[in-house]
């Protein structure tokens, strides 16, 4: 799942949302954001901060010859926050800085292995992805933290980034101040099967096209592996068609909120291929996580304050994952945004994320 974090108009200060109502129920604390009837949903009007232009960048050279590109934005002396992008494969963008107060946060952006400006790129068919796993990405985060002289930092992640950010926190809980996770996923086989097979129940014709493009021998319950094989084919035409079909399906299942527009990055064949190759590599391998790993290891992060945010209309990452995690996480709050789906450019996801980062900005 790719996260599209392009948001609405910039803002100078956090908005006090007088239209937010809280409803509590058994289980985790749940806040449901509701627009006052009969007002329409917040489409493209998410209040966010101005994008901060990166002021520092570099490459982190890893022992296996991977070069991981990183950037910093915001206040160089602010509270550090690591932005964990989604996909896998989408790459980082300075747009992420819109979720944080530029005066209070030191924003750390990193292109995960094989994505963005990191090299070697997954967009090169000859790139060996055997050293591109969840464990490698977690090690990269730790190496970057050490390189930048940061003792502890906040972590913000979306979609796949929520999964990876939580996995990182569980591996290094003493290095994480807070977690803000939205469009929450846990990288489970069930989630992957839901998106690539079971969602046929929601988009039957589109799924049939997605399945047909995987080839006549494709197992309908193992489509990431089938696509991964096509994306490694020697024929560039086969690779091109597979990447296009995969990204068309991506745009289909995230398009459940009013006002959704297709991701323009998919018009770029290089981005399409890089993204599709990275995500199928991870999904064909269950995101390199043990079954139920993130839920089982919640005790590792039980003390870390967290906000888990999901759109009620999100069928790419349904809210039960966030609910189940928050239910076992004493320091976590669950926020369900009623008018939002999987992306932050429609509905109130952006506002909820900003509210959370504003709340944690004083923690160090």
User: What are the tens digits of pLDDT across the range 180-190?
Assistant: 999 999 999 99
User: What are the tens digits of pLDDT across the range 83-110?
Assistant: 999 999 999 999 999 999 999 999 999 9
Q: Say if residues 176 and 204 touch (Cβ distance below 8 Å).
A: no
The number of CA neighbours under 13 Å toward the Cβ of 54 is: 15
pLDDT at residue 24, rounded to an integer: 36
Look up the CATH superfamily of 20-187+288-360.
Alpha/Beta hydrolase fold, catalytic domain (3.40.50.1820)
Q: Which residues are catalytic?
A: 159, 314, 342
Distance CA 106, CA 78 (A): 5
Q: What is the phi/psi pair of residue 97, to 5°? A: -65, -15
Contacts of 321 (CB under 8 A, 6+ apart): 184, 185, 186, 188, 191, 310
Q: Say if residues 295 and 322 touch (Cβ distance below 8 Å).
A: no
Mean pLDDT of 329-340: 94
Domain-wise residue ranges, the chain: 20-187+288-360, 190-286
DSSP alpha helices (H): ranges in the chain?
A: 134-147, 160-171, 189-196, 204-212, 223-231, 236-253, 269-283, 293-296, 320-327, 349-360
What's the predicted TM-score (pTM) here? Answer: 0.88
User: What are the tens digits of pLDDT across the range 184-223?
Assistant: 999 999 999 999 999 999 999 999 999 999 999 999 999 9
C-alpha 303, offset from chain centre: 23
């Amino acid at each position: 799942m790719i996260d599209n974090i392009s948001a609405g108009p910039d803002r100078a200060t956090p908005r006090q949302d007088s239209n937010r109502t809280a409803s509590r129920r058994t289980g985790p604390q749940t806040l449901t954001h509701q627009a006052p009837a009969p007002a329409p949903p917040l489409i493209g009007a998410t209040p966010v901060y101005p994008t901060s232009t990166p002021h520092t960048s570099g490459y982190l050279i890893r022992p296996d010859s991977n070069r991981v590109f990183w950037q910093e934005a915001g206040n160089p002396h602010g509270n550090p926050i690591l932005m964990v992008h989604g996909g896998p494969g989408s790459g980082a963008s300075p747009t992420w800085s819109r979720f944080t107060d530029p005066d209070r946060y030191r924003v750390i952006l990193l292109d995960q292995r094989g994505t963005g400006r990191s090299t070697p790129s997954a967009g090169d068919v000859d790139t060996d992805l055997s050293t591109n796993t969840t464990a490698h990405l977690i090690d990269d985060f730790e190496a970057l933290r050490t390189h930048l002289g940061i003792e502890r930092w906040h972590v913000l992640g979306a979609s796949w980034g929520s999964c990876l950010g939580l996995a990182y926190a569980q591996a290094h809980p003493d290095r994480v101040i807070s977690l803000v996770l939205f469009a929450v996923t846990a990288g489970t086989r069930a989630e992957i099967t839901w998106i690539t097979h079971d969602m046929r129940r929601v988009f039957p014709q589109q799924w049939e096209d997605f399945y047909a493009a995987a080839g006549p021998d494709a197992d309908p319950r193992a489509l990431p592996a089938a696509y991964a094989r096509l994306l490694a084919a020697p024929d560039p035409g086969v690779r091109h068609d597979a990447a296009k079909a995969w990204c068309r399906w991506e745009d289909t299942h995230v398009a459940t909120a009013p006002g959704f527009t297709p991701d323009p990055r998919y018009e770029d064949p290089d981005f399409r291929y890089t993204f599709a190759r990275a995500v199928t590599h991870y999904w064909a391998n269950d995101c390199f996580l043990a079954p139920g790993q993130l839920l089982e290891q919640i005790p590792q992060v039980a003390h870390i304050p967290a906000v888990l945010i999901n759109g009620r209309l999100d069928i790419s990452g349904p809210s039960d994952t966030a609910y189940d995690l928050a239910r076992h996480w004493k320091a976590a709050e669950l926020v369900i945004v009623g008018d939002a789906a999987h992306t932050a450019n429609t509905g109130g996801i952006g506002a909820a994320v900003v509210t959370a980062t504003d709340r944690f900005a004083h923690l160090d």
